[in-house]
Amino acid sequence: MRALLLAAVLALPCGAASARQHDAEKLPITHIRDLHYGDALFYFYQDDDFAALTRLLAYEHWGRVPHHAEEAQLLEGGLYLTLGMHNEAGERFERLLTNDVPTGVRNRAWFYLAQVWYARGYLERADAALRKVNGRMSPELEAQKELLFGNVLMHEGRYDEAIRLLASWRGPLIWSAYARFNLGVALVRNGRLDDADPFLSGVGTMLAATAEQAALRDRANLALGFAYLQANQPARARAPLARVRLNGPYSNKALLGIGWADAALGDYQGALTPWMELRGRDVLDAAVQESYLAVPYAFGKLNANAQSAEYYESAVKSFDAENGQLDEAIARIEKGDLLERVLGTDPGARYGWFWQLKSLPDAPESRYLYAVLAGHDFQEGLKNYRDLVYLNGTLERWDDSMGAFEDMIETREHAYAERLPRADALLASGAVGELQQRNVTLANELRTIETQHDMAALGTTAEREQWARVQRVEAALAAAPDTPEYANLRVRLALIKGVLQFNLNDAFNARLWQEHRGLKDLSLALHEAQSRWIRVERDRKNVPTNTGEFAARVTALKQRIDTLQARLGATERKQSVFLARLAAHQLEEQKDRLAAYQVQARFALASMYDRAANAGTQKESGGNQAAPAAAPPEETPAPPEQAPAPPEQAPVPKTAEPPR
């Protein structure tokens, strides 16, 4: 199944060589152009099909995958198919699987869709889907397709068509046994038992390398044997029934059939051998229940009336005990917690069409549930119920998320209300405007310093203080008299001023560059501050609106989730009640069968006692007269043997998924 999905997904490029060797029967290799489509593929490749599908649907709704619209819908169809939603998958395939899609992809899609429809019981749809397969697929898929088509035709009662299809079947050796078995079954149901014998006998005598093949071999022998029993040919029925394994799943029916074949041939002593073996097995099985009546019936035919009566009494007691246990099992099922206990044994199971129950709960009624759970209707219903439980859990998680979103919005509104006064005060202060004006003033001052080459203005604090002192001393010496002492001071001052001026001039250009750089950084910072200022003013007006929009969307989604939860809860309860009734109904049918057997056992036992009492009365009334010849005992009525059901065709076996 996932092979179809992988074919529907556009693979990532693998280089020029792979592009040159691209298979024309597959979708072309392309680049992933939409990020959201890649996000959905991430979950798909993690085998999280539900998450991939929900994301694809959401992204498609919001128009986030414009470059992969058709691929996304084809992938959605495959995901719907994996999840068992065959109607939705069929709608998409009808619309998308046109001649523009490669033939191989289109054929596999219709084949897998036919498999799901066949499993769900939609035979007409499965037939139509199989007829849309154009041309031949790979040998393995082609063999599976024809076997599936044969099963569909037989379920529809079109045995002649099924025979023609399976008679011309050619395929791998692994499928040969299934094809021959189904062909034999089709011939039996068409009334051509002699023609069916070679095919069913061939399957029934093949070498079995696996447990699956061994089970198929037993099933073929059982089908052929019961077909001969129905055709009143017990001698020919015995050989195939004897080939069924004693420890296989069909051994009980085979033992019962062998006994009835011997009985039909008049060999009641021989019939007792398989029936006694069968009688020691689990009374839950219908064949075992019938053996409880068959054994005393055979003893009656052998005129062993004491043993016959003993076994009839034992059968009545066994039926009574089993009937009581069935009542307890039905009562426990009707309590309503059956499905929770059944699903609780496999908590890690996946949802979707491929899910299968692995184990049963440890409960008294579990021994009866094996037969119930083996039914197709219950299995499909259980899958639907588990999907409902999974969806309900998903909605609960989403509902929790809506609560978290509401808390986030409330926190945001609270923070907005708390910061609003400070933001308003800051906006009213005009601080950024003042800083920008100050920046303009600093720029003008720096230009003046650069123009006038004011070296001291860019000096350090100590240098500026020294320069100011030099200027003050220089002014004082200018007013002093021209004496040798003052002349010496003027020379020393000139030396100090020259050294200081040299240092200032030497560092002026570097310091001027640093100031220009600092002024530029300041201008950028003020520009960013102005930009943030504008955003604050805008958010001051928009944040309440955005919060209200989010709150409305979250409220609407929460209401929608609540509605869906209510619908899911109601559907889940209905499905639970339906499955409980289905299980109880099957157990009630077992009770009815037991009741019928019990009535027959009591009637046979009463008939035996009545004949014995009549024989004793006749003997006493005869006195010393010569007794008439004893009449042969009335034939003990045979229990209504379980009518050998017509053999059923073998389902197409499930193979391992193709590697990705």
Q: Which pLDDT value is given to residue 23?
A: 47
Q: Tokens 């520009």 map to which residue?
A: 527
pLDDT in tens, 419-449: 778 777 777 777 778 888 888 888 888 888 8
The mean pLDDT of 119-129, rounded to a whole number, is 84
Shared domain check, 281 and 399: no
- Asked whether residue 641 carries a pLDDT value surpassing 80, the answer given is no
Residue 526: give its domain's CATH number. Answer: 1.10.287
Three-state SS for 63?
Answer: coil
Residue 196: give its domain's CATH number. Answer: 1.25.40.10
Shared domain check, 276 and 399: no
Per-residue pLDDT band at 225 (split at 50, 70, 90): very high
Count of domains for the chain: 2
- Asked whether residue 338 carries a pLDDT value surpassing 90, the answer given is no
In this structure, is the dihedral angle defined by the CA atoms of residues 138, 139, 140 and 146, taken in order, positive or negative?
Answer: positive
Give the Cα separation of 240 and 464 in Å (integer).
Answer: 120
Specify if 320 maps to a domain.
no
Give the Cα separation of 319 and 325 in Å (integer).
Answer: 10
Model pTM score:
0.63
Shared domain check, 400 and 273: no
Specify if 332 maps to a domain.
no
pLDDT in tens, 462-474: 988 888 888 888 8
Last residue of a domain, one of 229, 252, 285: 285
Q: Which pLDDT value is given to residue 242?
A: 92
Exposure string of 395-410, with b = 16+ CB inside 10 Å and e = fewer, is beebbeebeebeeebe
Shared domain check, 400 and 265: no
Shared domain check, 401 and 279: no
- Asked whether residue 105 carries a pLDDT value surpassing 70, the answer given is yes
Specify if 309 maps to a domain.
no
- Asked whether residue 218 carries a pLDDT value surpassing 90, the answer given is yes
Specify if 185 maps to a domain.
yes
Q: Tokens 């198919």 map to which residue?
A: 81
Per-residue pLDDT band at 2 (split at 50, 70, 90): low
Specify if 627 maps to a domain.
no
Specify if 337 maps to a domain.
no
Give the Cα separation of 583 and 510 in Å (integer).
Answer: 94
Last residue of a domain, one of 285, 301, 319: 285
Shared domain check, 411 and 278: no
Shared domain check, 206 and 68: yes
**Residue 42: which domain range?**
2-17+25-285
Last residue of a domain, one of 578, 595, 612: 595
- Asked whether residue 625 carries a pLDDT value surpassing 60, the answer given is no
Shared domain check, 71 and 204: yes
Specify if 425 maps to a domain.
yes
On the CB side of 376, CA atoms within 13 Å amount to: 5
Specify if 85 maps to a domain.
yes
